[in-house]
């Protein structure tokens, strides 16, 4: 016997989201609650999967089941599908497990044809209603099923209205609509080369296929990718007997929320239109009434509706978003679902529901989408200002780092600093940023780049700083020499105002006021609950005392990654750094390093103080040395002069440091293997700073020294021996006690594979998932942007492996390393410090893999805390 | 109780090489055979390991055991160590498991001091002998144990000889030698700041430490690395009672081989000197006599010696290299070991020993060092010509591809072609080579580059072609513009002769005649036996019909890797290739590809024909497209003109293809994902060529299409779908049957980790260990040269992971992929096609890992065949 693919509403229940989709499960749920739901049935998500497996065909067995259910529906309704005198009409709607914009939405009035429209007119005694329904059906079918151009139908409608001098659709008479139906059908034929299908069964199957097809359209695919919805879930199709909101002035249709989706206020909120079908409410042609008006208009019906909304909220234990229709004074419920809401509303609703004892804290923690917190943590545009200037969009780039920014344009980092010093708010605009821009980036409100992807230098650094950034904005042309930005036919000069929205990628050619983030009391409450239920610690990636302090405010429990090299790009430091690089002997190198020592020490003291005793993992010098040297002949000549070298000497050094693949070059611990004196200096800075801060502030800082890019235990051992010798000497000399740890990053595949050996020397592992992802996949994030879009389009990858841990490949390596590491060193501390540490799905992976902590940029700390709590609530860790 | 670290010769046996080292085990063996071996004892290799573990100290327990054995030796010899009237004297020699030049060799006469030298003089009645022995001891001890400058002692000796007008050391009188001893001791004190040690026990322990220490000297380390000898083996120390070859004219010392080590001829071969100690024979001051002279001089002793040599050869079943001493007419054996021999001799000896029924075929196969075959497979310098010009060395680079070459210098690939066309023999000299040089490389006798390592482009391509190459020769200065090569103070112009030795790295500033490789009958015999005992198949990496034919001659059983991109660099093809790259639409791209199709097809037909029915794995386009475009503005301008593009257009294309890390960029199957039409064209060429050749030649070629750089099964599937569709259409249309396979390279770590998923689509795996090594370690072979030398010096890596598979890291990934692949597809074909396929240790790894075949460059095929046989003989595979 064939598998069951089609379910009458009363055969299902609201738990069957996977099989029936969200909409179908809830229709079944409402039916079972005895609410007034028009009868119907659901074609399951498994039928959709079959459709694709079968080469985009609906199997005969599935078609048969659809028609069997249709027959049951006919019986229940006492009407026949296609009956010329009293036809059964249905709506067809998509409905996947997760609510998904971008997919086919709705076809109404399906079942009408040239004959039955007449029957409907007679039966209802309302030919206007019948022809209005038919023209709507043709319109929706042509648009949604046949993918014809929508505008033509609107134009025909507008033409008639214009000729007749009508203001509104409701002015159209039955005859007008009859004429429109004819014009619509003509246009259909012109487009399709065939008559509008008259067989209702053909209409039904085509509509079902259209829903299945829409699962794979580009918008749906990109939504899925952004929201981690697997392609193989598929969508269900809901076929429901029609009720009509367009049967006259006692009919209507509307949507409502049990609470305010924008603020979270516990008050019924909604809109409706009389004598209308669903799409009229959305279309915005007529202004809908608020739900409060319904109380006046029909108090009994309103009371019934309120009771239903309360039943639903209590039943689903969450704010509900409902669709309803009133047919000749009778109320029908067409849909209910947990309502979408702003992040702010989500927090309020969750906290309120706990207060109302409808849910417990755990449920409240699970209700909040961790990613949504992002929008609460950064400055936003003032709503009124944004509304006013919404037409000022001049370009759209990648939403690389969230928040809103408004300021004067600067085209160089240096200029940005100068302008900021004068008190200007600055937006830094560059083709792309480089490490030397770091200070200019730091003082800017926002960063806009023409090139680079979501993981370009600008994007990564901006996210780290919590600064708004729009990256890879190919809509703009930047001439850095002439200091000109062109976009949307306009030219902007240095000092002109622009505004950026780092959450959407929009660039505005005007100043739009921003307001700072406000972390309401509900935010604090949820975070407090989250901390109660998580076991995974959350640390931060921070390179400065200011970033550290901000992260601690946001709940960071320590530092998981301090990149020491970022400290070397300051103007006064890079000189000493360059002296170190061009040094020809160990003695010369040590002399230059001695200049860097007090600076590094000062950095570390500042960071320790901001941490107030929390642990700090400090990564030793990582990037290849050529990053600290200029590359053009002009710059080299200037620097050579400063450094009292000949041009040829410096040029030779720059050339000798050139690498074919810098990602796979002389960097990480390889630098310390060649120049152990660098590690010695950094050890001194780390240890001396800790001793001094512990003494001065009465703290007990335990520094964790992290050796990067290890692939072989002997290279770790080699560097570690220098670290330990240096540290122990300093500690012995200081006469005080200091505990410190030495560990490594696991970011080279070989390190993961030989983690058991490495754990013999490493007291902790921190998974550097950025590099580990690059090397495991064999592509560099700087280069992959060019071809990854093909991979998404062709559905080879469903998500960005640099944003969400690739569970199958990189994840396997992490699990292998965890297992091998723990086998050798039971109490090994395990963390992650790549970009992934702030991604909720990746945080859940880390929880399940048994890591001790995740570390992420300061503004992602709350997200990680919440995600960690949710992970533990879903899969409690046995410690 | 302490572990036993010291063994009297009679306590050991010749099987204990690991514990006693080769020399110690054989001394024990000879002692047990009842041969005249001066008594002594061996300090084990474990004592050496302990020495390093204890921080370069000899433990008190080991010292105690040494002195206990010394007491036994005193008893046996009836003499006391340091006895002023009749001292026991000993020799101290190193001896590791494998014979290892570069380590400390020998100290003789240890135990002498100012007092006992007098006793020795009296006891022997030979003061000249006594003082000669003492001065030799001081000299060796100062040099070897104290690492003083050797030349000073030679100078003192020469001064005296000069003053006295002596010609030879033997002219020195006892008084002369007494005076020399004094001068030697003065010099020792001046250098050491302390008197020459008079306590024999101190002498012994210091000498023992010196042996241990020498295990870690740079020469020993580099020898170990080249010969895959693990650092942790350690060396033993042999302490043996002295017999004296310098006691007068009835004493002497010599070395002998049971067969000729140069030709393999079965005839005793050796040299000796009367009235001499060991080092005199080696030093070459006096001309030694041949062993045949001994027959004349002392027939009885000669007969005894011949008998002993026969006993030893029969016992060890291999050609022996022996040291002996005659003390006052009595013969002593000081050492025996399996003798080093030339590759040619090795083959002859092995085949002869089988003929003599001394060993069986398996043993013969195991006796040949596979690496040594290399020297037989390439042209060599004429021995006489080389001897004459050996002083003409002008530089030394890396021995990147073996063989000898002689020709006129060309500084560009183009010029090399022109000169070759005129019939000149050419040596191509470049700073470094690039893919565009390929044709010039092909016509050259040898290639010399100033830059690049053992795995640079020049080195890899030259090895592939079997062309002699010296790479990374930093001794030379190449000015490509001025067409000048400077080295050793000389200047060479285009057309000047130079000669290269690709096996040693020497560059000669003259023409030196070469002779072609001669594969003697013994070679064929051994190869035939090897084929009998191996299960691992051996294929070749070949890109042209010529290379393929050569590889088949050398025993290749098919092609494991054809790199299709090498075919695109020819002048007539690169144009079409470039048109393909700058194409803006699929149609334009297809048009350019259509031009390439007949060329590729012709290539494949040629290769199939050369294979005569053997299988061929053809890898689809792999390198990033920018490799096919010029990069300087000048070249771009010229090409733009040719291609009828504007400079800006072409420049923009070049820039858009720029990659930060080309190794991790848009290459491999990623190209085919973006441009499936490339894979379609290549499929057409592969399949159409196979159909035609099968028809024309009555063959049954089964092409194997290999998709490179796969990291995710869906990308393989995506490309494979195009391949299969194209291939099946062509086959169906042709009306003949053709079997083909589609598989992938496993060269990205993620592919190994997800091999079970990939095996669902791939019919075969070929491990691309070059890239797999790069990505697993996270370093690029082009860049790693800069820091790997530090890694070797610091003993972080013991061998080059690009030459020998890194068993611990990369090897684990291979094993994982084999296991996962076989689990899903039982009959999956597994091969390796990296540089490692020709490395014997890696071949053994592949055998043990259960691979089906290895693939290597043509000239390495015999090496791989032999290594595969040895692997199976050592560890027979249960099929």
Res. B516: pLDDT tops 90: no
Q: What does the alpha-carbon distance between residue B619 and residue B704 come to, in Å, rounded to a whole number?
A: 8
Residues of A in contact with B810 (CB under 8 A): 750
User: Residues near B495 by Cβ (< 8 Å), separated by ≥ 6?
Assistant: B408, B409, B419
Question: Which residues in B lie closer than 8 A to residue A748 (C-beta atoms)?
Answer: 776-778
B457 is catalytic: yes
pLDDT tens track for B422-438: 989 999 999 988 877 88
Query: Taking CB atoms and an 8 Å limit, are A754 and B795 in contact across chains?
Result: no
Report which of B724, B711, B740, B706 is spatially closest to residue B831, judged by C-alpha positions: B706
Contact between residue A430 and residue A505 where contact means Cβ atoms under 8 Å apart: no
B789 contacts chain A (CB < 8 A): no
Residue A320, SS3 per DSSP: strand
Task: Find the residue in A nearest to B795 (Cα).
Answer: A714
Helix (H, G, I), strand (E, B) or coil at B533: helix
What is the C-alpha to C-alpha distance for residues B512 and B514, in angstroms, rounded to an integer?
6
Grouping H, G, I as helix, E, B as strand and the rest as coil, residue B578 is helix
The shortest CB-CB distance from A812 to any of B674, B753, B806 is to: B753
pTM of the model: 0.84
Q: What are phi and psi of A726, to 5 degrees?
A: -65, -50
B468 is catalytic: no
pLDDT of A518 reads 65
d(CA A873, CA A865): 12
- Check CB contact of B750 with chain A, cutoff 8 Å: yes
Give the pLDDT score at B390: 80
What is the C-alpha to C-alpha distance for residues B187 and B179, in angstroms, rounded to an integer?
12
Are B794 and A664 within 8 A, CB to CB? no
**What does the pLDDT average to over B444-450?**
94
Token pair, residue B700, equals 């049954």
Question: Among residues B428, B434, B430, which one has the least CA distance to residue B460?
Answer: B434
B chain contacts of residue A715, beta-carbon cutoff 8 Å: 791, 796
Do B858 and B544 contact (CB within 8 A), yes or no? no
Measure in Å the smallest separation between the Cα of A598 and chain B Cα atoms.
Answer: 29
Residue ranges of chain A whose pLDDT lies below 50: none
Instruction: Select the residue of A664, A670, A754 nearest B809 (Cβ to Cβ).
Output: A754
C-alpha–C-alpha distance, residues B322 and B340, integer Å:
11
Q: Does B794 touch chain A (CB under 8 A)?
A: yes
Residue ranges of alpha helices (H) inside A193-259 are 200-214, 218-226
**A858: closest CA of chain B, how far (Å):** 29
Inform me whether the pLDDT recorded for B833 exceeds 60: yes
DSSP state of B766: E
Measured at the CA of B18, the angle between CA B17 and CA B20, to 5 degrees, comes to: 60
Task: Indicate the burial class of A598 (C-beta count within 10 angstroms; 0-12, 13-18, 19 or more).
Answer: exposed
Pairwise pLDDT comparison (A383 vs B194), residue with the higher score: B194
What does DSSP say about strands A80-81 and A87-88: parallel, antiparallel, or unpaired?
parallel
Whether the CB-CB separation of A268 and A328 falls below 8 Å is answered with no
Cβ contact A663–B659 (<8 Å): no
Contact present, B189 and B178 (Cβ < 8 Å): no
Phi, then psi, of A443 in degrees rounded to 5? -90, -5
Chain-centroid distance, C-alpha A267: 29
Please answer yes or no on whether B662 and A664 come within 8 Å at the CB atom: no
Sorting pLDDT into bands at 50, 70 and 90, what band is B520? Answer: low
Distance, in Å, from the CA atom of B92 to the CA atom of B95, rounded to the nearest integer, reads 10
What pLDDT does A114 receive? 95
| CA B514 vs CA B373, B406, B425, B445, B446: distances in Å | 18, 7, 12, 11, 12
The overall average pLDDT reported for chain B is 92
**What is the number of CB-based contacts under 8 A between chain A and chain B?**
166
Q: How are strands ordered across the β-sheet holding B252-257?
A: B289-290, B269-274, B252-257, B320-327, B330-338
Q: Cβ B779–A715 below 8 Å, yes or no? A: no
Q: Do A779 and B664 touch (CB under 8 A)?
A: yes
Residues in A closer than 8 angstroms to B747, CB to CB, are: 778
pLDDT at A100: 77
Pairing of strands A506-508, A514-515: unpaired
Q: Evaluate if residue B281 carries a pLDDT over 70.
A: no
Q: Which of B352, B467, B486 is nearest to B406 (CA)?
A: B467
Q: How far is CA A413 from the centre of its chain?
A: 29
- Adjacent-strand bridge partners of B327: B330
CA distance B801 to A749: 15
Percent of chain B with pLDDT over 70: 98
Residue partners of A220: CB distance under 8 A and separation at least 6: A100, A102, A103, A214
Rounded distance between C-alpha atoms, residue B220 and residue B237, angstroms = 16
Is the pLDDT reported for residue B243 higher than 70? yes
- The answer to whether the beta carbons of residues A681 and A600 sit under 8 Å apart is yes
Kindly identify which residue of chain B lies nearest to residue A782, measuring between CA atoms: B660
- Strand, coil or helix: B719: helix
Query: How many C-alpha atoms does B815 have within 13 Å on its Cβ side?
Result: 14
pLDDT of residue B493: 96
Helices (H) and strands (E) counted in chain A, each on its own, are: 34, 33
Within an 8 Å CB–CB cutoff, is residue B678 touching chain A?
no
Compare all CA atoms of chain B with the CA of A796 and give the residue at the minimum distance. Answer: B714
CB A336 within 8 A of CB A324: no
Between CA B622 and CA B618 the distance in angstroms is 11
CA distance B230 to chain A (A): 15
Q: Is the pLDDT score of B285 beyond 70?
A: no
pLDDT in the model for residue A520: 63
Whether B787 sits inside 8 A of A659 (CB atoms) is no
Mean pLDDT of B574-596: 92
Q: At B518, is the pLDDT very low, low, confident or very high (cuts 50, 70, 90)? A: low
pLDDT-based confidence at residue B1 (cuts at 50, 70, 90): low
**B707 pairs with which residues across the strands?**
B744
Q: Is the pLDDT of residue B250 over 70?
A: yes
User: Cβ B809–A712 below 8 Å, yes or no?
Assistant: yes
Is residue B341 classed exposed, middle or buried when 0-12, 13-18 and 19+ CB atoms within 10 A define those classes?
buried
Is B431 near chain A, with CB under 8 Å?
Answer: no
Q: Give the β-pairing of A269-274 and A106-110.
A: unpaired
CB of B812 less than 8 A from some CB of A: yes
Residue B456 has pLDDT above 80, yes or no: no
Tokens of A92: 């067809």
What does each C-alpha distance from A183 to A178, A179, A542, B175 come to in angstroms?
Answer: 9, 6, 65, 133
**Annotated catalytic residue within B48, B378, B406, B457:** B457
What is the model's pLDDT at position A390?
Answer: 80
Indicate the residue of B711, B787, B810 with minimum beta-carbon distance to A670.
B787
Q: Which of residues 515-534 of A touch B (CB under 8 A)?
A: none
CA distance A765 to A756: 11
What is the ipTM for the molecules in this complex?
0.84
* Of the partner residues B673, B754, B790, the one whose CB lies closest to the CB of residue A808: B754
Question: How many residues would you count in chain B?
Answer: 879
Tell which of B756, B779, B794, B798 to mutate to test the A interface (max A CBs under 10 Å).
B779
Angle at A478 between CA A472 and CA A484, to 5 degrees: 150
Residue that is written with structure tokens 């660098």 in the block? A678
For the residues of A600-631, what is the DSSP string, one character each? HHHHHHHHHHHHTT--EEEE---S-GGGGS--
């Amino acid at each position: 016997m064939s598998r069951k693919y089609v379910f009458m509403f009363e055969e299902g229940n609201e738990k069957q989201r996977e099989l029936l989709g969200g909409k179908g499960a809830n229709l079944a749920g409402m039916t079972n609650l005895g609410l007034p739901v028009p009868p119907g049935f659901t074609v399951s998500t498994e039928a959709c999967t079959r459709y694709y497996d079968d080469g985009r065909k609906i199997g005969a067995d599935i078609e048969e089941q659809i028609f069997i259910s249709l027959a049951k529906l006919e019986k229940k309704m006492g009407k026949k599908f296609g009956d010329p005198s009293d036809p059964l009409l249905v709506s067809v709607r998509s409905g996947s497990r997760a609510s998904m914009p971008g997919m086919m939405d709705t076809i109404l009035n399906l079942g009408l044809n040239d004959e039955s429209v007449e029957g409907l007119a007679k039966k209802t005694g309302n030919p206007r209603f019948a022809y209005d329904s038919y023209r709507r059906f043709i319109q929706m079918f042509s648009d949604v099923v046949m993918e014809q151009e929508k505008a033509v139908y609107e134009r025909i409608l507008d033409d008639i209205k214009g000729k007749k001098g009508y203001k509104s659709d409701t002015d159209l008479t039955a005859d007008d609509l009859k004429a429109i139906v004819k014009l619509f059908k003509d246009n259909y034929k012109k487009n399709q080369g065939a008559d509008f299908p008259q067989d209702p069964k053909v209409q039904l199957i085509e509509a079902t296929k259209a829903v299945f097809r829409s699962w794979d359209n580009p918008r749906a695919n990109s939504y899925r990718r952004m929201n981690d919805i697997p392609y193989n879930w598929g969508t269900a199709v809901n076929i429901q007997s029609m009720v009509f909101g367009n049967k006259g002035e006692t009919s209507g249709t509307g949507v409502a929320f049990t609470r305010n989706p924008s603020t979270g206020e516990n008050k019924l909120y909604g809109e409706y239109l009389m004598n209308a079908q669903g799409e009229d409410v959305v279309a915005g042609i007529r202004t809908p009434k608020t739900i409060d008006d319904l109380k006046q208009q029909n108090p009994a019906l309103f009371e019934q509706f309120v009771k239903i909304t309360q039943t639903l909220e209590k039943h689903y234990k969450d704010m509900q978003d409902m669709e309803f229709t009133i047919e000749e004074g009778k109320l029908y419920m067409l849909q209910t679902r947990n309502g979408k809401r702003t992040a702010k509303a989500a927090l309020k609703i969750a906290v309120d529901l706990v207060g109302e004892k409808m849910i417990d804290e755990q449920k409240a923690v699970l209700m909040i989408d961790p990613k949504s917190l992002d929008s609460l943590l950064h400055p936003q545009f003032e709503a009124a200002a944004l509304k006013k200037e919404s037409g000022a969009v001049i370009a759209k780039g990648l939403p690389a780092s969230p928040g809103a920014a408004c300021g004067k344009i600067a085209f160089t980092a240096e200029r940005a600093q100068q302008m900021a010093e004068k008190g200007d708010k600055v937006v830094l605009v560059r083709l792309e940023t480089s490490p030397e821009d770091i200070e200019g980036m730091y003082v800017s409100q926002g960063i806009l780049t023409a090139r680079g992807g979501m993981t370009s230098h600008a994007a990564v650094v901006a996210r780290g700083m919590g600064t708004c950034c729009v990256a890879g904005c190919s809509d703009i042309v930047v001439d850095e020499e002439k200091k000109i930005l062109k976009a949307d036919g306009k030219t902007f000069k240095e000092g002109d105002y622009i505004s950026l929205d780092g959450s959407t990628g929009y660039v505005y050619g005007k100043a739009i006021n921003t307001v700072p983030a406000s972390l309401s009391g509900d935010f604090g409450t949820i975070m407090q609950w989250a901390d109660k239920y998580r076991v995974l610690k959350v640390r931060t990636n921070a390179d400065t005392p200011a970033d550290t302090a901000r992260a601690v405010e946001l709940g960071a429990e320590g530092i998981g990654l301090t990149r020491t090299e970022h400290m070397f790009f300051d103007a006064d430091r890079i000189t000493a750094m360059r002296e170190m690089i061009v040094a020809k002997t160990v003695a010369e190198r040590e002399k230059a390093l001695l200049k860097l020592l007090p600076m590094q020490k000062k950095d570390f003291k500042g960071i320790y103080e901001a941490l107030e005793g929390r642990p700090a993992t400090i990564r030793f010098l990582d990037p290849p040395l050529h990053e600290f040297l200029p590359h053009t002949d002009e710059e080299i000549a200037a620097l050579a002069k400063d450094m009292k070298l000949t041009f040829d000497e410096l040029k030779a050094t720059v050339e000798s440091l050139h690498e074919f693949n810098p990602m796979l070059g002389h960097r990480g611990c390889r630098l310390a293997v060649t120049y152990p004196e660098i590690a010695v200096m950094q050890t001194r800075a780390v240890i001396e700073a800790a001793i001094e801060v512990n003494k001065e502030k009465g703290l007990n800082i335990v520094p964790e020294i992290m050796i990067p890019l290890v692939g072989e235990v002997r290279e770790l051992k080699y560097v570690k021996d220098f670290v330990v010798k240096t540290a122990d000497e300093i500690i012995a000399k200081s006469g005080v006690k200091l505990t410190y740890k030495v560990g490594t990053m696991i970011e080279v595949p070989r390190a993961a594979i030989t983690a058991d050996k490495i754990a013999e020397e490493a007291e902790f592992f921190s998974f550097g998932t950025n590099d580990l992802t690059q090397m495991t996949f064999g592509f560099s994030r700087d280069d992959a942007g060019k071809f990854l879009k093909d991979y998404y389009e062709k559905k080879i990858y469903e998500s960005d492996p640099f944003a969400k841990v690739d569970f199958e490949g990189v994840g396997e390596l992490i699990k292998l390393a965890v297992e091998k590491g723990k086998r050798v060193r039971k109490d090994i501390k395990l963390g992650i410090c790549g970009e992934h540490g702030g991604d909720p799905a990746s945080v859940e992976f880390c929880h399940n893999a048994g890591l001790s902590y995740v570390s992420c940029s300061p503004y992602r700390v709350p997200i990680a805390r919440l995600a960690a709590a949710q992970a533990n609530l879903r899969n409690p860790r046995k410690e």
